[in-house]
Amino acid sequence: MEFYTKILQKLKNNHKCYLLTVVENLGSSPGRQGFKMFVSDDGFISGSIGGGIMEYQFVEKVKKDLKADRLEVLFKRQVHQGKAKKDSSGMICSGEQTVVFHPLTKKDIPSIEKISHAIKNNIPSILVLSKNGISVVEQNQKNQFEFDNYNEWLFKEHLTFKEIFYIIGAGHVGLATSKIAHYLGFYVIIFDNRKELNTLLENHFVHKKHIVDYGDIKKHIKPNNFVAIMTSKFIDDKNILAQIINVKHRYLGVLGSKNKIKIMFNSLEKEGIDKEQLKAVFAPIGYAIKSQTPEEIAISIAAEVIQVKNNNKN
């Protein structure tokens, strides 16, 4: 999001840029498919396509092209082997990567705005790169690179996040968890029922924040995602869990001490919640690493979530 916001700022200030994208990589290439950077005509640089002498040379090239107003779509294959006879990058780490260069001007503002909108709102979209420029299509698809020759190639990249992380409760632990979930690549949505809560106002890591009535929280939660319940009240945690436990989630956890969770689960069983359903809930939430601070608790939650996500549990 920040990457494309920076591009928009440059274009709206009448700067021209080059967007460099790794569309394919083989072996131990330092630049992986999807790596990006942009260079503005005022010398501003953001992102990376793998670093090293190759990146330096490419940056210097586009700086000269921008200065000379020589704007064209370029397609560069790089071989990272010292003895390569053709397309040598000057690097010796082995592997190969292909980089495309797209010049961006004011006419590209609508496309970049559409990219930013899709990312901000988690709209399944595809970024399409070709010799004709960049475009955005709203659909869900895996990354794809098609190449026949230097005149006929196409790269499609999934733009948006695959998983949503719902945090119910915007206190200090909610803030710390939001930050880590954001950097892990989740689309983070946080809820609370308290207005003017300082930790909610200070939370700039979430994609969306909502003041809601916890009594109808179920309508805000989409299935097959990640949910962490951590409100300020025992009764709110209990009632929220009762509402959403029958919905399939990839991860559902509740913050609290072992004694709190025991009392909560006993109460929910008496109200008719199946014991096996309660066993599937991650509670107390997070790994037992003697966490003390909100940040330590957030890390223990994140570790548990990562394991579930990477093991494709549920």
Residue at a domain's end among 126, 158, 190: 158
CA distances for 6 relative to 11, 17, 177, 243, angstroms: 9, 11, 26, 41
Per residue in 13-39, pLDDT tens? Answer: 999 999 999 888 776 666 688 889 999
Q: What is the pTM of this model?
A: 0.65
Share of the chain above pLDDT 70, in %: 88
* DSSP reduced 3-state for 119: helix
Question: What span, in angstroms and rounded, lies between the C-alpha atoms of 300 and 314?
Answer: 20
Q: Are residues 174 and 129 in the same domain?
A: no
Q: Count CA atoms within 13 Å of residue 206 on its CB side.
A: 25
Residue at a domain's end among 158, 190, 206: 158
* Average confidence (pLDDT) over 189-209: 93
- The angle subtended at Cα 151 by Cα 148 and Cα 153, nearest 5°, is 50
Confidence grade of residue 140 (pLDDT, cut at 50, 70, 90): low
Residue 30 belongs to domain spanning: 2-158
Per residue in 163-192, pLDDT tens? Answer: 899 999 999 999 999 999 998 889 899 999
Confidence grade of residue 314 (pLDDT, cut at 50, 70, 90): very low
Question: What span, in angstroms and rounded, lies between the C-alpha atoms of 160 and 115?
Answer: 9
Q: Are residues 22 and 123 in the same domain?
A: yes
Per residue in 269-288, pLDDT tens? Answer: 999 999 999 999 999 999 98
